[in-house]
Amino acid sequence: MTVGTSESRAGLAPVRITLDNGIVCLSKQTRTTPAVAINLAVRAGSICDPAATPGATWLLSRTIDRGTLTRSADAIAEDLDGRGITLTVSVTRHLFSLVCTCLAEDFDPVLALLGDIVMSPALSETEIAIRKGEVITAIRQDDDNPAVRASESLMALLYHDGHPYGRRTKGSIDVVESLTRDHLARLHAARFAPSQLTAVIVGDVDPARAGEVVSTVFGEWRRPEPPAVTVAAPVQAADRRRLVIPMMNKAQADIAYGFTTIRRTDPAYYAFWLMNNALGQYSIGGRLGDSIRERQGMAYYVSSALDANVAEGPLAIRAGVSPANVDRAVASIDEELRTLRHDGLAAKELDESRQYLIGSMPRALETNAGIANFLQVAELFGLGLDYDVRLPGLLRAVTLDDANAAARQAVDPDRATVVIAGPYQEGPRD
Amino acid sequence: MTETTLDNGLKVLIREEHAAPLASVWCWYKVGSKDEGPGLTGVSHWCEHMNFKGTERIPRDQVKGIIEQFGGSWNGYTWIDQTTYLETATRDALDRMLFIESQRMASCLYHPDDCESERTVIISELQGGENDPDQLLDQELTATAFKAHPYRHPTIGWLSDLETMTRDDLYGYYRRYYVPNNATLVIVGDVETDEALRRVTHHFGGIAPGPAIARLATVEPEQTGERRLTLRKEGTAGYLKVAYHAPGVAHPQFFPLLILDAVLTGAKGLNLWASFRVPPPQRSTRLYRALVERGLASNVSGSLLPTSDPFLFTLSATATEGESLASVEAVLLEELDRARREGVTAAELAKAKAQLKARLVFDGDSVTNIAHQLGYFETIATATLFLNAPAAIAAVTLDEVAAAARAVLTDANRTIGWFDPLPVREQRPADEVAQ
């Protein structure tokens, strides 16, 4: 076991240990409430879906906590429910996560239970059949949701030709119906290994004891390191694209408008982050919110989100508008982006966003769950144990030229991909 | 917690929490959609929107940034009993937050152009809600369950009222309800109580009280027979809701019913603001096992929210693809009837209490959440009721749960709603076009 701590004792200063089998444990003691947040992340997100069975990881996430080799699904349900715990199992592109908060007095048995779930799921046929029904119903609900249709279609267009970022995380009904226990067991065996697991423990527990409990639960787990899954850089759009998904049974149209951008580890990330904050986040939706919601009254929501990831992630603008306002809203987004590219941000805007992002850190790190999430992200991208201390400096180092260069690189309306889903049909266009 | 009432009637609750260098300020008004008469449905919520659009001393274009410069967040919401506004930021922003809330109470502008611009924003919000069949069914179910009490209309309002309401309607409503003697100010965080109270007095002490507010006194007549509604619209999933009239938060049967809900669908706790974040622990609950574990429903949930007047205890389920709403309903009603006849077991009671105890701890994990709870309860009942909730929950007996189940879960007291989907007419996406 190796132990690492932040050189600076300021800030969070979490304790990081690496077990002999490769598991990383990050812990941080807080005493605000007698509770502990547990955040287990396996590097086995949806990019690990076999090419023939997209959605397999999602179904595994619905099934993994429904019984282990030594505990029935009922026993797990009783154990968690009896302690007032909700275990959230989620799948992103790169991570398969199990997250919960428990009372401090329950920490040892709860971590033991989560360890059993991660290492030895039963994946029974009965459970798989029930969960398939739930997933298929959820896919059908997504199919009837304009916001989901617009977002998923945007990703499919930005990340085409089978790129893993472009696939629906839940998969398709046909694939889900075809999945068997064997598919899930093979996927688990192939991708779940100690070298892929980061356990973050934040709350009313001493870091040394947190490490001991993690070691007790996971220390004997042995599995070879899985081969890396590489994610190719997406091909940047050369032209503007537009897709309309008519859903005439709906009342409001959803617009998803976006681009591929950069990796999270790109040195330009902080310039992109600030630029995006000013464009579509600051206060109530940044420049986009000012124009489309506040000045023109066209939308209840409009914002932009930057998701720089392991590979080049998207910058997506989303808005919900009356069908009569779709064309005007898209034109307004175009105009805002052209102005941003041509004139750049004002120094005051950049400073405001910078001050906000730095100043909001105490809020982001107020709760155990917030700290745990921050540490998990820092570990995924190798940002270091003192990332919370360095982050303000990284943001302060961004110049106006940096932010404006990010805008010119990222948001070109002539290369935008635009999806409209809702009670709207394509009319004659110029 | 320190409780003070200023001379103008403003109630001030302050609680010091020094774990993080933050402070949360919430200003609560006893005005919600239940205070709206015919023709003005949605006015409370619309006023909430208008109260972010500049004041006499905060120009419209400077609203943005006042709290953000302290890294803070701000927001507001309106529901049936209340309208509230919040800021959470670093502690050095306390004075700014109090200034904003004092301006919001007394000096909002309601510029006619802003009122018109916001009309379309709110209609867009309404349409966004209608996109969701579950939300649409909930709205129709509530309107059917109540025939007299103003809880019957949605907080967002009816479309025709939103299309016709005037600036004078909005401003008149604002002036009537946004007075210190109809408000509670809550401060929680890394503050010093005496100094915080001095700053409150400085910002709010000069605001004149308003006339006493006459409240609608309508009491919903007892429901004497089951009601039903079926929505048939294009959709891809069937939704079922069963709603029973249930007592308000101050009624002795509220906490026994909270236990019953925990046994049936999982313990949600009492925090409307935080409950959106984490779903309840529910896999060992009766309805989850009867519906989800048997593959009839893809999810099930219960809702018993603390309210001022009697509202609804609502059970909801989404039919699994291929399962009929009738079969989901039959099993759900069978389980509810069993609870009415037999109550709950001692083991279930003990588990529900343990769950609720944990949820109350988890829901108090931030200054924002703590401040919300104090203000929410003070607005619908008293903050003391919230502070005493752990003891009240611990004291609930099996007999009290059984009596609450017998009183509430009767056939005559329920309204059943279906969203029965019609096939979606296929509309092929327009081909992707390069422009």
- Which residue type sits at B164? T
Query: Do B323 and B297 form a contact (C-beta atoms < 8 A)?
Result: yes
Query: In chain A, positions 245-264, which contact chain B (CB-CB < 8 Å)?
Result: 245-252
- Which residue type sits at A52? A
CB contact under 8 A, A78 and B284: yes
From the list A321, A355, A363, the residue facing B124 with the nearest CB is A321
- Asked whether the predicted pLDDT for residue B432 surpasses 90, the reply is no
Q: CA triplet A207, A92, A228: central angle to 5 degrees?
A: 85
Average of per-residue pLDDT values in chain A: 95
Query: Do B315 and B264 form a contact (C-beta atoms < 8 A)?
Result: yes
- Asked whether the predicted pLDDT for residue A186 surpasses 90, the reply is yes
Q: What is the pLDDT of residues A219-268, one digit of tens each?
A: 999 999 999 999 999 999 999 999 999 999 999 999 999 999 999 999 99
As given in the structure block, the two tokens for residue B96 are 């700014």
Q: pLDDT higher for A357 or B217? A: A357
How sure is the predictor about B6, in pLDDT bands with cuts at 50, 70 and 90? Answer: very high
CB contact under 8 A, A358 and B119: no
* Nearest CA among B160, B163, B155, B172 for reference residue B80: B155
Helix (H) or strand (E) holding B14: strand B11-16
Please state the ipTM of this predicted complex.
0.91
Q: What is the pLDDT of residues B83-108, one digit of tens each?
A: 999 999 999 999 999 999 999 999 99
Q: CB contact, 8 Å: A239 with chain B?
A: yes
Query: Do A286 and A277 form a contact (C-beta atoms < 8 A)?
Result: yes
pLDDT at position B379: 98
Rounded to a whole number, what is the distance in Å from the CA of A299 to chain B's nearest CA?
Answer: 5
What distance in Å separates the CA atoms of residue B164 and residue B43, rounded to the nearest whole number? 11
Q: What is the pLDDT of residues A196-226, one digit of tens each?
A: 999 999 999 999 999 999 999 999 999 999 9
Q: Which residues of B touch A73 (CB under 8 A)?
A: 283
Query: In chain A, positions 18-47, which contact chain B (CB-CB < 8 Å)?
Result: 30-35
Mean pLDDT of A384-392: 97
CB contact under 8 A, A81 and B285: yes
Q: Which residues of A touch B273 (CB under 8 A)?
A: none
pLDDT at position A430: 45
pLDDT at position A8: 52
Q: Which residues of B touch A300 (CB under 8 A)?
A: 121-122, 124-125, 128
Phi, psi of A23 (to 5 degrees): -65, 135
**pLDDT > 90 in chain A, percent:** 93
From the list A74, A140, A243, the residue facing B321 with the nearest CB is A140
How sure is the predictor about B431, in pLDDT bands with cuts at 50, 70 and 90? Answer: low
Q: What is the DSSP letter of A171?
A: -
What DSSP string describes A118-159? HH-B---HHHHHHHHHHHHHHHHHHHT-HHHHHHHHHHHHHS
pLDDT at position B270: 87
Mean pLDDT of B400-411: 98
Phi, psi of A37 (to 5 degrees): -95, 130
pLDDT at position B276: 58
Q: What is the pLDDT of residues A160-172, one digit of tens each?
A: 998 999 999 999 9
Pairing of strands B83-90, B22-29: antiparallel
pLDDT at position B361: 86
- Asked whether the predicted pLDDT for residue B434 surpasses 60, the reply is no
Mean pLDDT of B318-346: 97
Query: Do A408 and A245 form a contact (C-beta atoms < 8 A)?
Result: no
Q: What is the pLDDT of residues B230-279, one digit of tens each?
A: 999 999 999 999 999 999 999 999 999 999 999 999 998 888 877 656 78
CB contact under 8 A, A290 and B64: yes
Rounded to a whole number, what is the distance in Å from the CA of A85 to chain B's nearest CA?
Answer: 6
Query: Do A38 and A71 form a contact (C-beta atoms < 8 A)?
Result: no
pLDDT at position B273: 76
Query: Do B27 and B179 form a contact (C-beta atoms < 8 A)?
Result: no
Largest CA distance in chain B: 70
Mean pLDDT of B410-428: 92
Helix (H) or strand (E) holding B196: helix B193-204
Q: Which residues of A touch B351 (CB under 8 A)?
A: 81-82
Residue whose pair of structure tokens reads 């004092």 in the numeric block: B102
- H and E: helices and strands count for chain B: 15, 12
Residue whose pair of structure tokens reads 């600051």 in the numeric block: A282
Exposed (0-12), middle (13-18) or buried (19+): which is A371, by Cβ within 10 Å? buried
pLDDT at position A9: 61
pLDDT at position A300: 86
Residue B328 Cα distances to A85, B278, B323, B418, angstroms: 27, 25, 8, 11
**pLDDT > 70 in chain B, percent:** 97
Q: Nearest 10 degrees: CA dihedral of A350, A351, A354, A360? A: -130
Q: What is the pLDDT of residues B202-213, one digit of tens each?
A: 999 999 999 999
As given in the structure block, the two tokens for residue A362 are 């105490």
Q: pLDDT higher for B335 or A425? A: B335
How big is the A-B interface in CB pairs under 8 Å? 230
Q: CB contact, 8 Å: A72 with chain B?
A: no
